């Protein structure tokens, strides 16, 4: 395992080359064997809510109660970072397309943890004319989303996943996209069950999420990119690196690919499969797909059957 950086904005020593031949060095990501040139890689939409570790930029650590306010404070700089990273949007569109939703008006979709609207736009790209409800716990992230140009069928609601019913958001939905969300939930199993129950029978869930635990190489790439690019860039844009250190920690602490699939099985999903993405995020960012059964929900033994699989349901990079 590569050495874990301490709470200072320093990258691990050395250099790593990703699957596309891009060199990851201290502070920059360069092109293929070209002179060092900084290239924005963006950031993630959420951080783990139980990673209560202090950083030097704040007098008190972030925790479950303070995280929405932290995102409120950084919503504008976060939106700029995401806008500067085309591949971030490409991967969200890829996950939305992998849901296999029929094109045409009339579908009702839920975007849980929509942030500033990048995942909402991905759903509309996959299904033009759909009605999309975007939900997030950060009021300022939603304010950034609402400032953008949306068709009439898009609605944004300020709520946590656990409180959707009280916020007036009820099912059934024809599909749910949860981008960079499950990793951040205090109870991921309860969150997955809640999303399962919001779907109509037969409808899909796509969990677009980081998972690097299964691969030493993936963890090394993640460390290098976070401490060489994401954390310094986040601090430069927002004046604080705390949120982006939490991003690094949350991905480091999150489940492996097989464990995420098993969680989905325990929540009642079937036909679970996983595909990764392209670029340096290969085997770091994944689309976890499953659907609510069209008939009666599977028995509790279904999750045990998934656990007995000899190999995890991991796909290959796709550009479909």
Which tens digit of pLDDT belongs to each residue from 98-119? Answer: 999 998 778 999 999 999 999 9
- Report which of 269, 118, 119 is spatially closest to residue 109, judged by C-alpha positions: 119
Counting every residue written for the chain, the total comes to: 320
pLDDT in tens, 202-251: 999 999 999 999 999 999 999 999 999 999 988 888 888 888 888 899 99
Kindly state the percentage of the chain with pLDDT values over 70: 72
List C-alpha distances in Å: 146 to 130, 134, 164, 301: 17, 10, 19, 43
Cα three-residue angle 44-49-50, rounded to 5 degrees? 130
For residue 84, the model assigns a pLDDT of 84
User: Which band of pLDDT confidence, cut at 50, 70 and 90, is reported for residue 60?
Assistant: low
Is residue 174 scored above 80 in pLDDT?
Answer: yes
Is residue 2 scored above 90 in pLDDT?
Answer: no
Is residue 319 scored above 80 in pLDDT?
Answer: no
In sequence order, which ranges of 57-214 are alpha helices (DSSP H)? Answer: 67-83, 86-98, 118-126, 139-146, 188-198
The residue ranking higher by pLDDT, 40 or 299, is 299
Does the CA dihedral 181-183-188-192 come out positive or negative? positive
Strands 154-158 and 131-136: parallel
What homologous superfamily is domain 86-212+254-296 in, according to CATH? Vaccinia Virus protein VP39 (3.40.50.150)
Other residues' Cβ atoms within 10 Å of the Cβ of residue 308: 6
Of 14-28, 249-263, 300-314, give the range with the top mean pLDDT: 249-263
Say what the pTM is.
0.77
List C-alpha distances in Å: 138 to 16, 133, 167, 307: 35, 15, 14, 35
Is residue 309 scored above 80 in pLDDT?
Answer: no
For residue 64, the model assigns a pLDDT of 58
CA dihedral 221, 226, 229, 235 (to 10 degrees): 180
User: Which band of pLDDT confidence, cut at 50, 70 and 90, is reported for residue 157?
Assistant: very high
Distance between CA atoms of residues 300 and 108, nearest Å? 29
Q: Averaged over 88-97, what is the pLDDT? A: 97
């Amino acid at each position: 395992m590569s050495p874990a950086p301490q709470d200072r904005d320093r990258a691990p020593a050395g250099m790593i080359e990703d699957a596309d031949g891009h060199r990851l060095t201290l502070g920059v990501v360069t092109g293929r064997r070209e002179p060092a040139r900084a290239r924005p890689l963006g950031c993630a939409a959420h951080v783990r809510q139980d990673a209560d570790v202090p950083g030097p930029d704040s007098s008190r650590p972030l925790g479950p109660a303070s995280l929405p306010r932290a995102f409120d404070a950084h919503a504008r700089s976060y939106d700029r970072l995401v806008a500067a990273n085309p591949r971030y949007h490409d991967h969200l569109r890829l996950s939305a397309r992998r849901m296999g939703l029929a094109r045409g008006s009339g579908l009702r979709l839920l975007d849980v943890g929509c942030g500033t609207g990048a995942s909402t736009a991905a759903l509309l790209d996959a299904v033009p004319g759909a009605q999309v409800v975007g939900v997030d716990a950060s009021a300022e992230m939603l304010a950034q989303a609402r400032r953008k140009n949306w068709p009439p069928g898009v609605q944004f609601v300020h709520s946590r996943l656990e409180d959707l019913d009280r916020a007036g958001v009820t099912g059934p939905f024809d599909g749910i996209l949860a981008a960079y969300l499950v990793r951040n939930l205090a109870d991921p199993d309860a969150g997955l069950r809640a999303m399962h129950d919001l779907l109509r029978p037969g409808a899909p869930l796509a969990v677009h999420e980081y998972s690097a635990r299964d691969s030493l190489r993936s963890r090394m790439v993640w460390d290098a990119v976070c401490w060489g690019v994401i954390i310094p860039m986040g601090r430069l844009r927002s004046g604080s690196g705390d949120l982006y250190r939490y991003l690094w920690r949350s991905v480091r602490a999150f489940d492996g690919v097989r464990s995420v699939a098993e969680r989905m099985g325990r929540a009642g999903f079937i036909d679970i499969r996983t595909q990764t993405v392209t670029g340096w995020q290969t085997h770091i960012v994944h689309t976890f797909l499953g659907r609510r059964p069209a008939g009666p929900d599977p028995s509790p033994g279904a999750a045990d059957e998934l656990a007995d699989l000899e190999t995890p349901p991991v796909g290959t990079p796709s550009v479909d």
